[in-house]
Chains A and B, each alone.
Chain A
Amino acid sequence: GAGVSQSPSNKVTEKGKDVELRCDPISGHTALYWYRQSLGQGLEFLIYFQGNSAPDKSGLPSDRFSAERTGGSVSTLTIQRTQQEDSAVYLCASSPQTGLPSTEAFFGQGTRLTVV
């Protein structure tokens, strides 16, 4: 596709349920990032995939959060046993294989998650 695509665009779920958020990066981009945008918290890094390397999971806030990237393309962010504090906009970004100088990261429009 022309840009980074995320689905669903909006998700309302009950507290305690699991949710899956999907990201389709730009074709050919090897790097993929997940960020969370919360009111009062700004943009928070969650996880980073680069090619076939082990992902950088240092930003995941708890073990209820996990992500995978299949075939070096589509990524799924899974939140188990959702809590109200998980309510946020989850943003995905991708970029071409990085080198020097740093290249631009392209963002999707996000998934707005509301936990009720």
Chain B
Amino acid sequence: AQSVTQLDSQVPVFEEAPVELRCNYSSSVSVYLFWYVQYPNQGLQLLLKYLSGSTLVKGINGFEAEFNKSQTSFHLRKPSVHISDTAEYFCAVSPNNAGNMLTFGGGTRLMVKP
């Protein structure tokens, strides 16, 4: 079984400041890792994913994440946030032998203030 922990339920930050959203996971098998974003009243949209290879993954909207196997983490970062980045962010994992069945973290609400 897999589990995902997002340590911060809310992260307030000022516009143009850097941000890091934390994600830790546990799994008895190898996993793929994902970050999804949910804008208000919208569905989930894939930001980025780690499947293999380079541990630094770049996604849409200037976000990136780094896979750290020893710390079982996949933290999401952006060097300078915009008001439009205000949304809920979900970290997720799927076992690499079980299709795309995703296990999600509880989500982190990013609130960007002017």
Using CB atoms and an 8 Å cutoff, list the residues of chain A in contact with chain B.
4, 31, 33, 35, 41-45, 48, 50, 56, 91, 93, 95, 98, 100-105, 107-110
Q: Is the CB of B101 within 8 A of A91?
A: no
Question: Which chain B residue shows the least CB distance to A4?
Answer: B43
Complex Cα distance A72/B50, Å?
29
Q: Is the CB of A42 within 8 A of B106?
A: yes
In the assembled complex, B57 has its CB within 8 A of some CB on chain A: no
Secondary structure of the B contact surface, majority rule: loop
Question: Which chain B residue shows the least CB distance to A42?
Answer: B106
How many whole Å from B38's CB to the nearest CB in chain A? 9
**Which residues of the partner chain B approach A105 to less than 8 Å between Cβ atoms?**
46, 100, 102
Known contacts A41-B106, A98-B100; can you find 15 more A-B pairs with CB under 8 A?
A4-B43, A33-B101, A33-B102, A35-B102, A42-B104, A42-B105, A43-B102, A43-B104, A48-B99, A48-B101, A56-B101, A95-B99, A102-B32, A102-B96, A104-B49
Complex Cα distance A75/B45, Å?
21
In the assembled complex, B90 has its CB within 8 A of some CB on chain A: yes
In the assembled complex, B52 has its CB within 8 A of some CB on chain A: yes
Contact A45 B103, CB 8 Å, known A101-B52, A102-B94: yes
Question: Which chain B residue shows the least CB distance to A101?
Answer: B51
Q: Which of B93-114 contact A (CB under 8 A)?
A: 94, 96, 99-107
**Which residues of the partner chain B approach A43 to less than 8 Å between Cβ atoms?**
90, 92, 102, 104, 107
What are 10 residue pairs bridging A and B, where the CB atoms are less than 8 Å apart in the complex?
Answer: A31-B99, A42-B107, A43-B102, A45-B102, A48-B101, A93-B44, A102-B99, A105-B102, A109-B41, A109-B42
Contact A102 B51, CB 8 Å, known A45-B101, A56-B101: yes
Contact of A91 among B43, B49, B107 (CB under 8 A): B43
Binary interface profile of B, 14-52, with partner A (CB < 8 Å = 1, else 0)?
A: 000000000000000000100010000111111001011
**Which residues of the partner chain B approach A102 to less than 8 Å between Cβ atoms?**
32, 49, 51, 94, 96, 99-100
Q: Is the CB of A108 within 8 A of B43?
A: yes
Contact of A103 among B42, B90, B100, B104 (CB under 8 A): B100
